[in-house]
Amino acid sequence: MPQYLSTIINLLPVVIPAIVGLVLGIVFRSRARKASLLVILASVVLLLQALFQVVTNHFLVPLSGNGLLSWEAYSMIVSAGYFVFGATTLGLLLAAAFVEREPYRPAVPAAEATRTGEAVQPHRGTLVLTLGLISMLLFSPLGVVAWVLGVLELKAMDRGERDPGGRGTAIAGMIFGIIATVMMVVFLVAAAVFVYAYLSSPGWRY
């Protein structure tokens, strides 16, 4: 497996939660500014942890292998780094969970969200967000469903057919769906290139 592809796969458990946290923090900042800011900061710390992991694998490991850095020092640096990043992330997320939040204010007044003589249907923003999260964390093909359903839900809200209170969750789910779809396409292309390179290698025989 190419080194860059192995590095990307190793970083996914850190980068994906960071992306999820950034999107949720940005989308819901109007509802809970303090909590959203803390979640965004925690996501930035996760990205810094991913950068630290890259530095560790590509610089510290070769230094230790060449004898320029002892393995004991390497272990201390890595352990201290992961402890600091992990404790900081956990502390920020716990603070976000218990921080005082501002009361929710609907983005669109109820009078503007209803049409004369017709009832507004409940929004499906939670469904879109759930599909988006599942596509990001478990099953990428669901990203297409979250993307399409999010677009349809937002259009229905703009027409006044759906409760606009779910706009934020619908946008977040749609963004997750878009990211999951792009990731799926990138990995499919990378896998196709890897298989083609393997089959084209001189040592391969059918």
| pLDDT digits 0-9 by tens, 86-107 | 888 888 877 776 675 555 555 5
pLDDT for 110 equals: 46
On the question of pLDDT at 48 being above 90, the answer is yes
Q: Kindly report which listed range (62-71, 102-111, 114-123, 192-201) carries the lowest average pLDDT score.
A: 102-111
pLDDT for 203 equals: 59
Residues in the chain: 206
CB 4 within 8 A of CB 58: no
What is the rounded average pLDDT of the residues 13-21? 83
pLDDT for 9 equals: 72
3-state secondary structure the chain: CCHHHHHHHHHHHHHHHHHHHHHHHHHCCCCCHHHHHHHHHHHHHHHHHHHHHHHHHHHHHHHHHCCCCCHHHHHHHHHHHHHHHHHHHHHHHHHHHHCCCCCCCCCCCHHHHCECCECCECCCHHHHHHHHHHHHHCCCCHHHHHHHHHHHHHHHHHCCCECHHHHHHHHHHHHHHHHHHHHHHHHHHHHHHHHHHHHHCCCCCC
**Of 162, 184, 181, which Cα lies nearest the Cα of 173?**
181
Domain boundaries, given as residue ranges, for the chain = 1-105, 111-206
The pTM of the full predicted model, rounded to 2 decimals, is 0.63
**Does residue 30 come out as left (phi exceeding 0), alpha (psi in the -120 to 50 range) or beta?**
alpha
pLDDT for 100 equals: 55
| pLDDT, averaged across the chain | 79
